[in-house]
Structure 1
Amino acid sequence: MEKRIIKIIYIGIILVLFGVVFFIVVFSPSHLRANDLKKSTKTSSASETMSFGSKKEGAVPTIYISGSGGNVSPMNSLLGGIFPNIDTKNDCLTIQVNISDHNKLTVSGNINPDDKSPIIEFATVKGTENGELYSAAIKVAMRYLVTHYNYTEINIVGFSSGGTGAVYYMIDNENNKSFPKVDKFISLDGEYNSEGQLQFGESLQSVIANGPILKTPMYRYIAKNYRKINSSTEIYFMEGNWNFSKQTDGAVSWADTFSIYHLLVENKNVVSMYLYPTKYSHGNIPKEPLVQNYIKKIIY
C-alpha cells in the first residue's frame, strides 16, 4: 500500500513538471503561435540572432518612428518602459517633418555627445500612411542627422505605418552612401499589405512561406524592390496577438504584418518574427511590457 502511494505521488510530480514545461514552451512570448501553425519556416529569437561582440566605437543611434497619429506620444510610452528614468523631452532628440508644409523640419531636445546609443523620436503629420511620403520625410530627418552628427550607422524602430515608411525608406535610400547604414530594423505591428486579411483557402503559414494571395499596391511595391534593402540589416517583425480568433491586433492583420517575411528571407537578411500575447490593442501596443523588453534586448 505504501509503495502504491509513493508511486502515485511520483506520477503526480511528473505530470506537474510536464505541465510546467508545456506552459513555458507554448505560452512563451517569443514563441510564434497562430492557430497552431505547423510552419516549415524557421523563426528565431533575439537571443539566437543577436551579436554580443565588442561595442562599436562610434555612436549608433536608434530612431523611433511613430505611426499615423502625427506625434511622438506612442514613442514616449515605449521609451518610458524601456528606460523608466528617461526624460524624453531632455534625453532624446525629437524630429518632426511636416509633409504638408514642404517637409518643414522641427527639432527639439538633446543628444549627449558621449552617448553611444542616442535616442531619436520621429513623427510626421497626422494621418500619414503613405509609404512614399513617409520615406521622403524620414530622408529629411536622416539628412539632418548626418549633417549635425555624422552618424554612419543607425537602428530603426517603426511602429504601425512608421514601419511601412521605414521599409520604403530602406528601399529608396539604402544605396545612398551619404546616409547611415541601417544596422537593425524592428517592425512593431507594421503594415505592409494595406491591412490585407487571409483569403479563402489561405493560411498564415502559407503567407509566411510564400506571401499573400491578395497583393495590394503597397505590397507589390515592396515585392518589386525588396532586393534594394541591405542584406546585412537584421530585421525583427513583432505583432500583437490581441484577438486570436480574428488574427489581428485590432487594426493590422497578422497576415499583413508578416506578409513580407519571405521576401527578406529570400534577400538573405537575418529575419526574426514574434507573435506576442497582449491585452493592448494596436494603438496602445507601445505600452506593452513584452514589446519594451524585446526592443531593449535587441538594441541595448
Structure 2
Amino acid sequence: MSIIFMRTFKKELIMKKIWQLILMFLAVVSLAACGRQTKSTADSASKTTTNKKVAAPYLQTTMPTFYVHGYQGSAHSTDTLINRAVKQADAHKVLVATVANDGTVSYTGTWRKGTVNPIVQVVFANNVAPYASQSIWLMTVISELANQHHFKHYNVVAHSAGNVATVNMLMTAVQPTNFPQIQKFVSLAGCYNGVITEDDVANQNYFLKSGEPALKHSVYQMLDAKRQNFPNHISILNIMGDLKDGSHSDELVSEVSARSLKYLIRGHQTNYQEKLFYGRHAQHSKLHENKEVATTINQYLWGK
C-alpha cells in the first residue's frame, strides 16, 4: 500500500509542478501582451503630443509688430502686453526703439534673421510731445528698421494717444521711399475725439444717424482733414473700455471718442471691428494690464 501511495503522491506532485509551469508561462505571456499594449498606448500618446506641437495655435511669421505707448506713457505701458504675447503667441521681443527729443533713435536688443513674430517696443523720450512729432518719430523707426530688415508689411498695437500718433502717421501724404504697408492695427483706448477732463465730457457726445459724431474736437478735426490719405486693405481692431459706472467711458476716453475712428476712415476698404470690455479692469490704464485684452490682441494678430 505504501508503494502505491508513494507512486500516486509522486504523480500528483509532478502534475502540480506541470500546472505551476503552465500558469507561470501564461502569466509571462499576459505580462508581455500588457507591455506591448502599454507601449502602443504610450507611442500613440507620444504621436498625439507631437502632432499638437506641430499644429501650433498661432501663426509663425517674420512680420514685425510695433507697440506704441500713449501720452505720458513709457515702456511700462506696453510691457505686460508684450510679455503676454511672448508667453502665449510665441512672439519675441527683439528691440526697444527709444526716440530722443531731437528725433534720433537708439536701439537695444538683437533682431536675428528669421525670428518668429518679432516685436519692437517704441518709447518716446518726450512722452508729451505733439502728435505731429510722435508720428514722424514712429515713421522714422519703422522706415529705418524696414531698410535694415527688409520687411514689406507690419502691425501696430497702440494705447491711448499712441493711436492718434499712429493714425496721423498713416494719414501722412508723403512717406519715405519703399515705406512698408501696415497690415493690422490694434487700437486700444484710442482718444480720437476728445479726452474727459480735458476737452470732452462724459455722455455729452453722440452719433448722428449717419454715424458722424455730433461734436468734433480739435484732434478729430485735424485727422478728418487728411482722412483721404488713410491706407486701404488694413484690418483694424478697435478695443475700448466701459467702467459700467454710467459714464460710458474708461474714465478718460468715452466710447464715442474711441468709436469715432469708424467714421474717420469712412470710404476706405478696411476690415473694421470693435471690442468692448467692461468693469473696473476696463479702466483706461488697466486695459493694457488686462489678461483678457492681451489674449484678444494676440488672437487677432497671430491666431489661426
Same fold (TM over 0.5): yes
| Cα contact 1:70–1:125 (8 A) shared by 2 | no
Q: Equivalent residue for 2:294? A: 292
Q: Equivalent residue for 2:38? A: none
Matched residue SS, 1:84: helix
Q: Distance between the aligned counterparts of 2:236 and 2:193, measured in 1?
A: 17
Matched residue SS, 2:265: helix
Report Cα offsets for 1:113-162 as digits up to 9, x if no partner: 22242111002134426321110110110122122111110001111111
Report Cα offsets for 1:236-272 as digits up to 9, x if no partner: 1100122440011121111111112123243231110
Q: Name the amino acid aligned to 2:64.
A: P
Q: Equivalent residue for 1:247? A: 248
Q: Distance between the aligned counterparts of 2:266 and 2:83, measured in 1?
A: 32
Q: Name the amino acid aligned to 2:82.
A: L
Q: Equivalent residue for 1:166? A: 166
Gaps of 5+ in 1: 1-54
| Cα contact 1:242–1:250 (8 A) shared by 2 | yes
**Counterpart among 68, 84, 87 of residue 65 in structure 1:** 68
Change over 3 Å in CA distance of 1:106–1:248 after alignment to 2: same
Displacement of 1:180: 0.9
Alignment of 1:6-45 (within 5 A): none
**Higher relative contact order, chain-length normalized (CA < 8 Å, sep 6+):** 1
Matched residue SS, 1:282: coil
Radius of gyration: which is bigger?
Answer: 2
Q: Distance between the aligned counterparts of 1:288 and 1:252, measured in 2?
A: 17
Q: Equivalent residue for 1:77? A: 80
Aligned-pair Cα RMSD in Å: 2.6
Q: Name the amino acid aligned to 2:132.
A: E
Q: What is the number of residues matched between the two proteins?
A: 239
Q: Distance between the aligned counterparts of 1:287 and 1:174, measured in 2?
A: 35
| Cα contact 2:143–2:176 (8 A) shared by 1 | no
Change over 3 Å in CA distance of 1:266–1:86 after alignment to 2: closer
Alignment of 1:93-242 (within 5 A): 93-98=95-100, 100=101, 102-128=102-128, 130-172=130-172, 176-195=176-195, 196-197=200-201, 203=206, 206=207, 209-242=210-243
| Cα contact 2:95–2:121 (8 A) shared by 1 | yes
| Cα contact 1:63–1:157 (8 A) shared by 2 | yes
| Cα contact 2:202–2:248 (8 A) shared by 1 | no
Report Cα offsets for 1:11-42 as digits up to 9, x if no partner: xxxxxxxxxxxxxxxxxxxxxxxxxxxxxxxx
Change over 3 Å in CA distance of 1:210–1:284 after alignment to 2: same
Question: TM-score by structure 2 length?
Answer: 0.71
Change over 3 Å in CA distance of 1:184–1:140 after alignment to 2: same
Q: Equivalent residue for 1:256? A: 257
Q: Distance between the aligned counterparts of 2:274 and 2:244, measured in 1?
A: 18
| Cα contact 1:207–1:259 (8 A) shared by 2 | no
Displacement of 1:191: 1.2
Matched residue SS, 2:70: coil
Displacement of 1:198: 6.0
| Cα contact 1:81–1:287 (8 A) shared by 2 | no
| Cα contact 1:68–1:126 (8 A) shared by 2 | no
Change over 3 Å in CA distance of 1:124–1:79 after alignment to 2: same
Question: TM-score by structure 1 length?
Answer: 0.72
Q: Distance between the aligned counterparts of 2:155 and 2:240, measured in 1?
A: 19
Gaps of 5+ in 2: 1-58
Identity percentage over the alignment?
Answer: 18
Q: Equivalent residue for 2:276? A: 275
